[in-house]
């Protein structure tokens, strides 16, 4: 005798089939998400600039992880928020010094203090870190051996409620991002040590020479001129002899800061040797270059700095102009 399933069994079987299909569909979605996340992590792993690592991490949180808003709070050694980067799918990722309203008992500050490594919550909860939290949120600390690198805050996920595997993917993202961010900071520091003068923070002679070679080639190909300015602090030996080397260092830093402020952002400013500085000016006609050199001279003079300056030509011509300036009484500039 063949027994046929009754209506209850049929309903149960139908419900189970629907459940299996849902699980199967969810498994496919998870597999696609994991593959997309793996690709995003691979990009993060080979990124060298710290800002680019932060940008890649926030974009990965948006797609494929599915959060509509991501905010990264970078931190300082004294355990305070230094800046924030925000991404919601439309805006460019730029650092901002404006910090959102953070509750004293909120998850961001708890993570910042090292009290929690990851926190998950909802908008109505007392510990919500932002006043305009969208749906549920997750906060994860990015840490390394010496402490926190920053805090990642995510909210506005497409799912209604947090699921363990989704928050686990956030942990995977932040774990690798922390390693990549730390490596990029070390790489940036090493690059600065190799290309920057340790006292003034300007380009060093080697980095300036490389910049000059590239500028000369570009000028040759495009048929453009460029201006090379050499600055020498007048009577600098006497400054050191009378006031001490500490005061001499302060004078060099003041010169460097004045040149950086007074030149254009695209100009290369370097400490060439001792009390000698150089400025490389591109994409300016002769009159524009002369005007810029006059401004450099005026701003140095306004700071109480006595310097001799020369412009137009390269090292040999610059040296001749520099000595001509000194022979004429110092504290001026010459063009060669």
Rounded-to-integer distance, Cα 46 and Cα 179, Å? 11
Helices (H), 153-285: 164-195, 205-222, 236-243, 245-262
Distance CA 326, CA 323 (A): 5
Cα 336 from chain centroid (whole Å):
39
- β-pairing, 136-144 vs 307-311, is unpaired
DSSP 66-95: -EEEEEEEEE-TTS-EEEEEEESSSS---E
Q: Quick one: pLDDT at residue 83?
A: 78
Which residues of the chain fall below pLDDT 50?
Answer: 313-314, 317, 336
Structural contact between residues 139 and 151, judged by C-beta atoms closer than 8 angstroms: yes
* Nearest CA-CA partner of 105 in 119, 126, 84, 125: 126
Query: Rounded distance, CA 132 to CA 216, Å?
Result: 53
Q: Which two tokens stand for residue 12?
A: 């149960």
What is residue 4's DSSP assignment?
P
Q: How far is CA 16 from CA 9, 27, 191, in A?
A: 10, 16, 60
The pTM of this model reads 0.66
Domain chopping of the chain, boundaries: 7-191, 205-335
Structure tokens at 290: 């002369």
Taking only the tens place, the pLDDT of each residue in 169-219 is 999 999 999 999 999 989 888 888 899 999 999 999 999 999 999 988 988
Smallest Cα–Cα separation from 158: which of 134, 179, 181? 134
Contacts of 319 (CB under 8 A, 6+ apart): 230
Structure tokens at 283: 């994409």
How far is it, in rounded angstroms, from Cα 6 to Cα 3? Answer: 9
CATH 3.30.1490.20 fits 205-335, yes or no: no
For residue 237, with 0-12 CB atoms within 10 Å meaning exposed, 13-18 middle and 19 or more buried, which class applies?
exposed
**Domain 7-191 in this protein, CATH class:** alpha beta
């Amino acid at each position: 005798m063949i027994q046929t399933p009754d209506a209850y069994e049929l309903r149960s079987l139908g419900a189970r089939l629907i459940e299996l299909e849902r699980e199967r569909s969810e498994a496919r979605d998870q597999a696609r998400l994991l593959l997309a996340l793996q690709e995003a992590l691979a990009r993060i792993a080979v990124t060298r600039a710290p800002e680019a690592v932060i940008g890649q991490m926030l974009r990965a949180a948006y797609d494929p992880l599915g959060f509509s808003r991501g905010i990264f709070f970078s931190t300082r050694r004294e355990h305070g928020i230094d800046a924030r980067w925000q991404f919601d799918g439309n805006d460019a990722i730029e650092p901002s010094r404006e910090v959102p309203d953070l509750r004293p008992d909120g998850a961001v500050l708890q993570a910042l203090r090292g009290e929690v490594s990851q926190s998950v919550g909802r908008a109505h909860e007392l510990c919500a870190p932002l006043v305009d939290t969208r749906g549920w949120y997750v906060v994860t600390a990015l840490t390394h051996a010496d402490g926190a690198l920053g805090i990642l805050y995510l909210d506005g996920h497409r799912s209604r409620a947090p699921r363990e595997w989704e928050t686990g993917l956030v942990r995977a993202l932040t774990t690798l991002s922390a390693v990549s961010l730390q490596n990029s900071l070390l790489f940036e520091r090493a690059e600065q040590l190799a290309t920057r003068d340790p006292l003034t923070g300007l380009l060093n002679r080697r980095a300036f020479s490389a910049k000059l070679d590239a500028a000369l080639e570009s000028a040759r190909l495009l048929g453009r001129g460029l201006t090379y300015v050499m600055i020498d602090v007048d009577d600098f030996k006497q400054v050191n002899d009378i006031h001490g080397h500490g005061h001499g260092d302060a004078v060099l830093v003041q010169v460097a800061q004045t040149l950086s402020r007074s030149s254009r952002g695209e100009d290369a400013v370097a400490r060439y040797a001792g009390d000698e500085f150089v400025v490389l000016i591109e994409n300016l006609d002769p009159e524009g270059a002369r005007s810029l050199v006059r401004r450099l001279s005026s701003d140095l003079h306004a700071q109480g700095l006595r310097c001799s300056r020369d412009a137009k030509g390269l090292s040999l011509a610059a040296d001749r102009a520099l000595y001509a300036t000194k022979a004429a009484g110092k504290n001026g500039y010459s063009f060669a």
